[in-house]
Amino acid sequence: MFLLLLACAGETTTPSDKATPVDSAPTATDSDSNPPDSPSDSPSEDSGRPIDTAPDSEDSEDSATDSGGDSEEPGWRSALYPKGWTPGFSVDGAFLHDFSYAGYHNGEDPLPSPSGPVFSAIDYGADNTGATDACPQIQAAIDAAEAAGGGVVRLPAGEYRCEDRLIVAASNVIVRGDGSGATKLYFTRHDSMSDLSHLNFEGNLKQGADLPLTADAKALTSVVTVNDASSLAPGDDVALGWIITAEFTEDHGMTGTWVAFTDQWKPQFRRTVLAVDTSVSPHAVTLDVPIRYDALTRDGASLREETGLISECGVTGLAVSTVVSWTDAWANDRSHAIGFEEVKDCFMDDVVSYESPNSDDTRANHLQSGGVIVVNSKRVTITNTTFEMPQHRGDGGNGYLFEVSRASEILISDSTGRRGRHNFIQNWDFGTSGCVFLRTVSEDGAAQYSADVEWLTWLGTSEFHHSLAMANLIDQSSTNDGWKGANRQDESSGAGHSATQNVFWNLSGGGELTSYQYGLGYVIGTTDITVKTTVWDILDSEGTSPEDYTEGIDEGATLFPASLYEDQLAARLARGEARW
């Protein structure tokens, strides 16, 4: 029987009871009311999931209408995203978050063109032939830009050898090459590189006094109350979080699993204060982005001011490599080529990995382990970037090409991860939400058993890896390996339920999608994807009833809009809700 259940767990969902596209205005819903999937109001198994309302092909052309008018749409709409959608709209308890806040300046402004004083690494004596170590000279240019209050650190065309790390520790500094096809930067350091990045943008994050909420804050609200908000002002950075109490853990069926986090306060949502009203009692604080989950006073939910984040930094126009000898690469864990740590409103554009002259074999690797990591940060955009071919794809956090950890509203767009252990990944621990993976390509992911047994590999999917990643969006993306959100049980020091309320929108590419999300997750519009949502309540689907919402399986090619994020952003700006 156990073997039969394992076989059944691989069943794919198929479209059923298809309906015509939804193009009428949404029904009125209180956006601040308690939504489904929050800890206190999860939908029951009697709610009829999975729901599939993709149109029959013969109906879609005639019945679809444009979201902004009466012109014909090119395909069908999700029942959860009708014409005129606004945040809070739901159907039988199923709903979509507003993902439009992801990215640099909440996605409202284009990435900045590098401006200000220019500090050329050549002027500081850097060798752009790759023959000698240029790291001290490049760091000197960075230091000069920081001392000037910001500027552009330019790496003119050529190849630069760097035998140490490069650190940007102040705002308004941009590292700019002459294009990823013209400027190459390769790092050779491998000793003591565990948990470090070779080029790191790093703040000095500190949290202020704890301001307990006076009442539960429901998901989708932007206003929270505290007894005394006099220490806060518009523009302040804050984190809203709570303690991983025994009750919170029990609510999620994670007793005995989330033990590594017991009784610890965890920042769940990184926000900016828009307004503070001290004329009312308790004081009201308005945040720039709605929260994604219920924050309960039972769990000590509170605000804490955050200082020390650096901003307006970036890297653009570079090819990078960190490849070393095979043995040296496997001697460290969790190293990355580029890191954004404790930052806000930063970016990476036109960056690729390559095989540097430091490669000493024929494996054609580009990286020691990781590509880019964004941690303890918010509002970062990574775009037009390709990372591939890491040497270390073993366990312990290696071969993660695009990694997000404890971060809010991160946008990764038009980027490719290839042959990593997990090409795109949310990782350790609580506190990742509102992130968008737009038009990403995940190819040929594979996990490797050990450095010495190279032939022993298995499928490595992109995935939500740890501790209840909330309300993230995989949008108009492609995978020939897979994406996954599930109950990882005791793996990775007790990851448990790794995902809730995440949306897979218009996924294609021939890979497999496993969506066993706590509460409810969403799979809307797929093309050539094996979809696994059937809950058997064992292994990685344990405790994930009801089955995730599915709609338009094998109908993704005609899903409208093709990108949920871009459509939601355009709609929010049209409503006059720009913050920048």
- The CB density around residue 28, as the number of other CB atoms within 10 Å, is 9
Task: Fill in the amino acid letter for 441.
Answer: V
Confidence at residue 73, expressed as pLDDT on a 0 to 100 scale: 82
Domain holding 234: CATH number?
2.40.30
Q: How far apart are CA 73 and CA 66, in angstroms?
A: 5
Amino acid at 510: G
Alpha carbon 98 to its chain's center? 15
3-state secondary structure 206-242: EEEEEEEECCCECCCCCEEEECCCCCCCCCCEEEEEE
DSSP run (H or E) holding 200: strand 197-202
- The closest alpha carbon to 393, from 421, 417, 372, belongs to 421
Tell me the H-state helices in 262-359.
Answer: 326-329
Peptide bond into 50 cis (omega under 30): yes
- Residue 240 resides in a domain: yes
For the cut 80, the answer to whether the pLDDT of residue 310 exceeds it is yes
CA distance 572 to 107: 11
- Exposure string for 283-310, b = 16+ CB within 10 A, e = fewer: bbbebbbbbbbbbbeebbbbbbbbeebb
Please check the confidence at residue 579 and state whether its pLDDT lies above 60: yes
Residue 60 has pLDDT above 50, yes or no: no
Average confidence (pLDDT) over 423-446: 98
pLDDT above 80: residue 295? yes
Peptide bond into 35 cis (omega under 30): no
What are 238-255's pLDDT values in tens digits? 999 999 999 999 999 999
What residues form DSSP beta bridges with 186? 161, 321
Q: Give the range of the structural domain holding residue 283, as residue numbers without chain letter.
A: 206-307
* Residue closest to 442 by CA, chosen among 483, 385, 491: 483
Mean pLDDT computed over 127-137:
98
| The two structure tokens encoding residue 462 | 């992109």
Q: Give domain status of residue 289, yes or no.
A: yes
In a domain, residue 568? The reply is no
Predicted structure pTM score: 0.89
Strand order in the sheet with 370-375: 166-168, 197-202, 336-341, 370-375, 400-405, 422-427, 462-464, 482-485, 512-515, 530-532
CB of 323 closer than 8 Å to CB of 357: no
The pLDDT of residue 47 is above 70: no
The answer, yes or no, to whether residue 186 has pLDDT greater than 80, is: yes
pLDDT digits (tens, 9 = 90+) for 377-427: 999 999 999 999 999 999 999 999 999 999 999 999 999 999 999 999 999
User: Mean of the per-residue pLDDT values for the chain?
Assistant: 90
Is 194 contained in some domain? no
Q: Tell me which residue of 575, 490, 580 sits closest to 87, measured CA to CA.
A: 575
Neighbours of 366 (CB within 10 A): 28
C-alpha to C-alpha distance for 515 and 534, rounded to whole angstroms: 9
Domain membership flag for residue 118: no
pLDDT in tens, 66-90: 444 446 788 999 999 999 999 999 9
Q: What is the mean pLDDT of residues 124-132?
A: 98
For residue 71, the model assigns a pLDDT of 63
Cα-flanking dihedrals φ and ψ of residue 123, to 5°?
-65, -20
- C-beta atoms surrounding 383 within 10 Å: 20
- Has residue 234 been placed in a domain? yes
Distance of alpha carbon 456 from alpha carbon 451, whole angstroms? 10
Q: Identify the band that residue 52 occupies on the pLDDT scale cut at 50, 70 and 90.
A: very low
pLDDT at 373 exceeding the cut of 70: yes
CA pair distance 75, 425, nearest whole angstrom = 31
Q: How far apart are CA 538 and CA 5, in angstroms?
A: 9
Tokens of 87: 């945040």
Residue 121 C-alpha from the chain's centroid: 33
**Ramachandran area for residue 93 (φ above 0: left; ψ -120 to 50: alpha; else beta):** left
Strand order in the sheet with 206-212: 206-212, 302-307, 237-243, 265-277, 283-287, 223-226
- The model's confidence at residue 114, banded by pLDDT at 50, 70 and 90, is confident
What's the pLDDT score for residue 74?
85
What is the per-residue pLDDT across 496-511, written as a single tens digit (0 to 9) for each?
999 999 999 999 999 9
Per DSSP, helices labelled H in 511-575 are 564-574
Residue 296 in this model has a pLDDT that exceeds 90: yes
What average pLDDT score do residues 424-435 get? Answer: 96
What average pLDDT score do residues 8-30 get? Answer: 36
Band (pLDDT 50/70/90 cuts) for residue 43 is very low
Q: Which residue has the higher pLDDT, 580 or 138?
A: 138
Distance between CA atoms of residues 434 and 272, nearest Å = 14
Select from 427, 405, 416, 573 the least CA-distant residue to 509: 416
Q: Is residue 271 part of a domain?
A: yes
Alpha helices in 382-503 (DSSP H): 491-494
DSSP reduced 3-state for 11: coil
> What's the mean pLDDT in 552-576?
98
- Our count of domains for the chain comes to 1
User: Which distant-in-sequence residues (6+ apart) come within 8 Å of 229 by Cβ?
Assistant: 211, 276, 277, 278, 283, 284, 285
pLDDT single digits (tens) 457-488: 999 999 999 999 999 999 999 999 999 999 99
Q: Are 546 and 522 in contact (CB under 8 A)?
A: no
Class of residue 519 by CB neighbours under 10 A (exposed 0-12, middle 13-18, buried 19+): buried
β-sheet bridge partners, residue 168: 201
Average pLDDT over residues 324-340: 97
Please report whether residue 358 resides in a domain.
no
